[in-house]
Homo-oligomer: A and B are copies of this chain.
Amino acid sequence: MLEAELIEIGRKAKEAAYRLAAASTNQKNEALLAMARSLEERSDMILTANEADMEAGRAKGLSNAMLDRLLLTPDRIREMAEGLRALAALPDPVGEVVRMWTRPNGLQIGKMRVPLGVIGIIYEARPNVTVDAAGLCLKAGNAVILRGGSEAINSNRAIAGVISMAAANAGIPEGAIQLIGTTDREAVNIMLKMNDYIDVLIPRGGAGLIQTVVHNATVPVLETGVGNCHVYVEEDADLEMAQRIVLNAKTQRPGVCNAMETLLVHEAAAPAFLPAVAEALRAKGVELRGCPRTREIVPDCLPATEDDWKAEYLDLILAIKVVDDLEEAIEHIHTYGTKHSEAIVTSSYKKAREFLQRVDAAAVYVNASTRFTDGYQFGFGAEIGISTQKLHARGPMGLEELTTTKYIIFGDGQVRT
């Protein structure tokens, strides 16, 4: 029953994707602008639906942080609309010929960007993801199947209804934007195996959600999110710069995946660096947990355990370890890191090069904050998430990462001998 409904959604999405692939850039942009207008015009209806979710959330005892993620306001709806307008202004990735070459037999071969097809997005409480994901998928020529969290079901239904109707009225094939309207958890399990209807799944949310999807899906997954990021301060680092980077990486926005979780400090730099940086971090409300050598220098620091080296706190907590040298720093990152974003602060050309070469992560920095790992900061103009896997896309994913390629081959009668 549920499975049949989902397969029908999948079939419609597949059909829509086939037609959408042929849509012009103008058609897609006009639809994005119409979706933006419609969101603003119908914001009262969306806010009413959101109020129902907020009430249910309060009754369920959701935390204030959760309730804030769930909350929509006229300003937040305006931001969602602006996000769609910004997408309309970006270049269309579809149709770009990445490269083209000619073979000795005269065959001319080009590699052209085309949409992926049908993208499934599985996400949690934030209703803005509904707009965001639908807009990104549409701009890249893909149909999308949205599965939001049950806490936001009324908001998501209202938003998806508004934007899918606006898109259809602007000539986008029906079925290009679909929301799974039920909160039945079984729907996710079915989605994970819909290989014939969904080309890619992108989970967006906490580690639990992502691991459930990665370990159960047979549909290809773009894994996003978990970041246990390090900043390593070398003995020769500019300590003023190091402090600025450490403070930024930990405190500018601690709840996100590219925030630093562990600080590594060369033993020769530790005595001069740690007392000042500890004071500055504490002034920002950061709790410090250090290795024994750290605690000799910062006596009132809590002891760090094995679990601290593994932790993605997403909070104002920092683990600190003093290391012997670059080698130990790289080994520590290899052992405990999640291959997300890793930084070194150094004035040594040789050490910068070695860190860049040897550290295996989506983004490896010299003398900059890990907080830059972001589609907007990288200049992509948009972001669907930050991939922590190696296949297809690694690091911030923008519109290009929502496409695949096909080879186009121009001949004049060539046959193979």
Contact = CB atoms under 8 A, between A and B. Distances in A.
A268 interface: no
Contacts of A18: 334, 360
Interface string A341-370: 000000000000000111011111111110
A370 to B, nearest CB: 9
A238 interface: yes
A378 B111 CA distance: 11
9 contacts: A21-B358, A193-B215, A215-B218, A238-B413, A245-B413, A248-B415, A356-B408, A364-B408, A368-B409
A411 B368 contact: yes
A202 to B, nearest CB: 11
Nearest to A345: B413
Quickly give the copy total for this chain. 2
Nearest to A193: B215
A416 B101 contact: no
B415 A365 contact: no
Interface in A168-223: 193, 195, 199-200, 214-218, 220-222
Interface size class of A (residues with CB under 8 A): 35 or more
Contact of A200 (B109, B221, B364, B390): B390
A146 to B, nearest CB: 20
Interface of A: 18, 21-22, 101, 103, 107, 109, 114, 116-117, 193, 195, 199-200, 214-218, 220-222, 238, 241, 244-245, 247-249, 252, 334, 356-358, 360-369, 371-373, 377-379, 389-392, 394-395, 404-417
B409 A404 contact: no
Contact of A364 (B357, B368, B407): B407
Contact of A372 (B107, B357, B389): B107
Contacts of A107: 368, 372
